[in-house]
Amino acid sequence: MRVIILISLLFVGIYSSLLSQKVITANAVGTFSDDVAPFLLDNKWGFFDKAGNIVIQPIFKVFVNNYGDLPCFSEGLTSIVDVETERVGYINKKGEKKIAPVYYSATSFNEGVAFVGRQNDHVLIDTSGNIIAQNFVAINGYYSRFSNNRACVQKQFAFGYINKSGKFVIEPKFDTLGNVKVSMRLAVASP
């Protein structure tokens, strides 16, 4: 009799465990960042938490910098594309628009700042959407993520480093860049 009761309890436990699992229908699923992961359904992106709860319904188009990248939250925000205007802005993990979609491109936030593209230039914004620096890189110029309060940017045909106020701390006079370590880059000037 004890064996039958134990088997019954085991069956009930397994069955209820299976019922409590959540299923999300998706065409693609990304990795977790900032405790949420993206999923794609019918060409729109949404996000779910680690418990499997959908925290943002799949209603957004997203902007990523590199082909093949998936959307991700960084510092509580991720970039989205407004379906009507095709402009880029940012939402929080509740799906609320926190920075209006007025830009042509956007990077993820790191060290409290992100690069966003306007029609003819890039500017640096903070997590509230305030422009904190401008006029440091052309629209097609290169810029890196901030590391140790510095970012490499390309001005005309040379590379230099700016701080978070957009001031050059190393003037743009280098022809090439190469990674040396995570926290340092190597710049090479032409002879």
Distance of CA 138 to CAs 53, 151, 153, 176, Å? 42, 15, 9, 17
| CATH code matching the domain that covers 2-109, chosen among 2.40.50.100, 3.40.920.10, 3.30.70.270, 2.40.10.480 | 2.40.10.480
Report how far Cα 160 is from the mean position of its chain's Cα atoms: 24
Instruction: Give per-residue pLDDT as tens, 96-147.
Output: 999 999 999 999 999 999 999 988 888 999 999 999 998 777 656 788 888 8
Instruction: Measure the CA angle with vertex 52, ends 88 and 13; round to 5°.
Output: 175
pTM of the model: 0.78
Instruction: Give per-residue pLDDT as tens, 39-81.
Output: 999 989 999 999 999 999 999 888 877 777 888 999 999 999 9
Residue 152 and residue 142 in contact, taking contact as beta carbons nearer than 8 Å: yes
Residue ranges of domains in the chain: 2-109
